[in-house]
Structure 1
Amino acid sequence: MSESRFTPRVFSGIKPSGGLTLGNYLGAIKRWVDMQGPEFETIYCVVDLHAITVWQDPAELRAATREVAAGMLASGIDPERSVLFNQSQVSQHSELAWIFNCVARMGWMNRMTQWKEKAGKNAEAQSLGLFAYPSLMAADILLYHATHVPVGEDQKQHVELTRDIAAKFNHDYKVDFFPITEPVIEGPAMRVMNLRDGTRKMSKSGESDMERINMTDDADTIARKFQKARTDASPLPEIVDGLEGRPEARNLVEIYASLADITPAEVLARFPGAGWGTFKPALAELAVEKLAPISREMKRLTSDPAEIDRLLARGAERARELAQPILDRTLDIVGMVRG
């Protein structure tokens, strides 16, 4: 199927469950900022409907939704250049998700790696929403005929499911309506790892705050966490192959590369054979330079939740204008009688 007739359009979102970390910034938000421009229309979403697949305290969910929005704005998502909104304000997402629930197959959902990991041995006790949310993710993307989705490796399977749903819908109804969306996976730090254990992903739910850089951390805290990040006894190698089997070293090099917009090889060329007493202070200085202004702006924005709500509502209005014609045409294709 050719995508040439579809407007090049990016969609992606972040779930508001806990605070934003450096992993969210480097693995997602920084890339979204860079994609704003003439090449794509960009649509970015706080996916609060996804958050409630597991229990959320209502007050905490509202606060987290506003904090994620503040983080996106502070990082450079421009509400004039991009459509920025929270998912629950655009009911078309849920409407299209139901149609896709009737297109997707149970076997497809059962194969989702994240379902297997999150449900574990207690799948019977999990919510139906947790099982079916990849169908809602497909609706998030295809509701805007998004042609590209920037994702990390751990979300690639969900974009592949989106492609399967689009292809099956087009085949079943003998139409050429939904695009076959392309995942965009690129850059040196798409999977930022734990600062205390380089084999585990940096997470907002980790046991120790020292494991992660929070987007709300101030300059002193950012510097201290990098200074105390776990490393091994060997100095930096001169070539990337020398990072093999050294997860903590690789993680810090990749973080530096992503913050500096260079490759890991270029990082090693700047610090050939350097010890950690040289490299970690340099990394901390770079991180403070890049992240501290974002932290300060987030604090300013979250002090005025009404302004965040206004921007999200305005973005939701723009999102509905894009979504409704696509949903209307979908309903017509499926055979729904409408006035």
Structure 2
Amino acid sequence: AGAPEPHRAVLLELYSKHVLEAKAPAPEARLAAWAPAVGAATGEELGKQLLPLAGRMSKRNPAAIANSFPLLVAQLRADLSAHAKDILDPLAVEFLKDREKRAKGLRIIREVARKSSDVAGPVAVAEAWAEALKKAGKADEKQALLMGIAALVAALPRGSLGSAEEGLKRVADPKGSIAKLAGDDANEETRALGYAALGALALALPPASREPLMQELLKPLSDKKAPDRARLAALEALSKLAASVGADDSSAGVPAWVGTLLDKSVPLLVVAATKPVHRHQSLLAWAACGALASTQEDRLAGRLKKEEMKILKDAQSFVNAPPSLLKAPAGEATAQALL
């Protein structure tokens, strides 16, 4: 029912003392019991009391805050638009650096995006993180920032960017920090996360603004020197974007990148026939083509050759053999079934 109004301030003081200032992690059931008090906190109390204290305690008692802070954010009912930066930066990034805390960091990011009525706040955080990438030197810092940007952008409500669209375009700059890391970084995992972030940004932007990003995502498909993980991340993003293409088959309605995607995907369709290690790569290529099959049938049919058609018909091929289907993510298996 929520904390009684006259007692809210007292309860928040107790919460601050017994939870946020705790030196050891508290049991989750005990933390959950504070939900009525935390949920009743106003935006002012959050900004002036709870968040500053959590920030200080994260340096003194990091294990305890790592345990309580994600649940604190989940329990809040206040609009988090104005508090996105204070909640996410730097705590969420620090959580993302640690594999054991990564799930908690992602949870915080999604909660903030979901509870922000104005996406300008979360987008401003994404801009700050993209700027921080320019100065990031260590791999774990780069990867945490890229994961954070991808998760934050993916969690934004679709079609509600408004004035924040320009900010998101700056984050998605094809000559910016994310594209540079995706294309040039020495660490394979960093490059893969860079392409994942570019894919999330492309999905969040209106279709008319995607073309420059699509060209970046298409590059590793024809780059023989691109690491496998980077190519897979780009393919996975492209298969999701392919599913978003509308049914309008007129020259004005079909994005220019669709034809390029088909041209670069088709050679990958059969690569696993001779190189089984690239099975996932071929599956993702089939997923991208499958997503386009219903709206771009003629374009796809004109590119498929005898070897691709044979694989579709062969019940024991690397694509539709049970071991492959069992390992493939649901989205890829669905796209394959549509073909």
Q: If the length of structure 2 is used for normalisation, what is the TM-score? A: 0.22
Higher relative contact order (CA 8 A, sep 6+): 1
Structure with more of its chain in strand, by fraction? 1
Q: Which protein has the larger Cα radius of gyration, Structure 1 or Structure 2?
A: 2
